[in-house]
Amino acid sequence: MIGERIRRARKAAGLSLRKVAEEAGISHTTLNKFEHGDQMPGSHQLVALARALGVRTEYLLRPTSVELGPVEYRSSRLPVRVRDRIHSSVLDQLERWHELLDLFPAEVVPRFSLPSGLPDAIDDYEELEAVAEYVRQTWRLGEDPIPDLIDALESQGILVVQTELDEAHRFNGLSAMAGEGLARPVIVVDAGWPGDRQRFTLAHELGHLVLRGRLSSQLDVEKACNRFSGAFLLPGVAVRQALGGHRQTLEPQELGLLKVEYGLSMQSCLFRALQAGIISGKTQTELFREFSRRGWRKREPGPTLPRERTVRFRQLVYHALAEDFISESKAAELLNLSVARFHRERRMEGTDADSCQ
């Protein structure tokens, strides 16, 4: 297991075997043996490797291991190097999640289950409107905007992981199953995107979890998940109430107001107007051309919507600490912080909320 962790940490850091070996003061051949489990590093070598890899020695010795099921990326054009970094970061965070959950005598995160009554087969994109509405109703979300989408997902037992490893921002998100028996759904989203893009990605990945095994072979999975995402975040009845039953055109300001209210981009709101039958395809094309002419396809007007953040993991770490399930040093390890920094944070001396797992 130590060898696997060394390899994973190296890939997460985007470093070559030779670079890590040089930094740790060992040979390339020895490091290769460590990674393949043919040789075990000594205590001094572990410390040197942890320093070279930028991880804590506790990470290399962590007993918890998590199985990650089939991973579905929203973008399939990610380089292998970027995928390796994302995959390693996700596994690290999931291992800490499961180690934390095992500390509690009772379940503190509900078991996820899909709403009963979902259709077994979906043959048309239009059917996804009813599916998204049904999930909302079952989860008691109503038809109003969802103020905190991550909280809504986590309250259903979905683990939400945020990563900042993709400097080029080509990564949007992914969904997978994790844990014993691959029973726990996981959604990963890039922490660097603005709020509207994060929310669409989160709902898109939820679509993968809800629609898996239900779509006709004639339907494109990504297109179906996009349709589910829009309908889940901005229900058809809500967009019709806001914009009316039938329109010849729309003012951009109307779309801007919907964006702020529902946390969905103006372009997505425009798509929702078309899907709800409010505007024609011709009108949508004309408005998209105006968006392109004014540079709004790349950067929409108005303030950037605040990013979604996950706080559940951090809350549970402090819960475990308060109940004496863990020590302060263990809490720091789970949060991937130095003991000194965690101690300051615990005393609420300059808490950095953005450092959340």
Supply the DSSP string of 133-194, one letter for each residue: HHHHHHTT--SS--S-HHHHHHTTT-EEEEE---TT----EEEEEESGGG-EEEEEEETTS-
Averaged pLDDT, groups of 10, the chain, 357 residues long: 82 85 91 88 89 82 74 74 82 89 88 93 96 97 95 95 72 86 88 94 96 95 96 97 95 96 97 97 96 94 92 95 93 91 87 48
Please give the C-alpha separations between residue 5 and each of 57, 58, 122, 146, in angstroms, as whole numbers: 11, 11, 41, 38
In a domain, 329, yes or no: yes
Helix (H, G, I), strand (E, B) or coil at 174: strand
**What is the pLDDT at residue 185?**
94
**What is the pLDDT at residue 56?**
76
| Residue at a domain's end among 32, 63, 94 | 63
**What is the pLDDT at residue 301?**
95
At residue 30, φ and ψ (nearest 5 deg) are: -65, -45
Which stretch of DSSP H or E encloses residue 300? Answer: none
In a domain, 190, yes or no: no
In a domain, 32, yes or no: yes
At residue 151's C-alpha, the angle toward residues 156 and 55, to 5°, is: 100
Tell me which amino acid residue 266 is: M
Closest among 214, 191, 193 to 135, alpha carbons compared: 214
Q: Torsion angle of alpha carbons 324, 327, 328, 329, nearest 10°?
A: -170
In a domain, 21, yes or no: yes
Length of the chain: 357
Q: Per the structure block, which two tokens stand in for 100?
A: 């934390």
| Residue at a domain's end among 18, 37, 63 | 63
**What is the pLDDT at residue 353?**
46
The separation between CA 59 and the C-alpha centre of its own chain, rounded to angstroms, equals: 22
Please give the C-alpha separations between residue 103 and each of 17, 155, 157, 345, in angstroms, as whole numbers: 35, 19, 17, 22
**Are the CB atoms for 301 and 256 separated by under 8 Å?**
yes
In a domain, 76, yes or no: no
How far is it, in rounded angstroms, from Cα 154 to Cα 326? 23
Which parts of 213-258 are beta strand (E)? Answer: none
**What is the pLDDT at residue 235?**
97
CB atoms within 10 A of CB 85: 22
Please give the C-alpha separations between residue 316 and each of 177, 319, 326, in angstroms, as whole numbers: 21, 5, 11
In a domain, 197, yes or no: no
| Residue at a domain's end among 32, 47, 63 | 63
**Are the CB atoms for 35 and 29 separated by under 8 Å?**
no
**What is the pLDDT at residue 87?**
83
In this prediction the pTM is 0.84
How far is it, in rounded angstroms, from Cα 136 to Cα 144? 10
**What is the pLDDT at residue 207?**
96
How many distinct structural domains can be found in the chain? Answer: 2
The separation between CA 150 and the C-alpha centre of its own chain, rounded to angstroms, equals: 9
The domain that holds 15 is classified in CATH as 1.10.260.40
Note down the domain range covering 344: 312-355
In a domain, 29, yes or no: yes
How far is it, in rounded angstroms, from Cα 234 to Cα 100? 35
Instruction: Please list the residues that pair with 177 across neighbouring strands.
Output: 185
In a domain, 283, yes or no: no
Tell me which amino acid residue 292 is: S
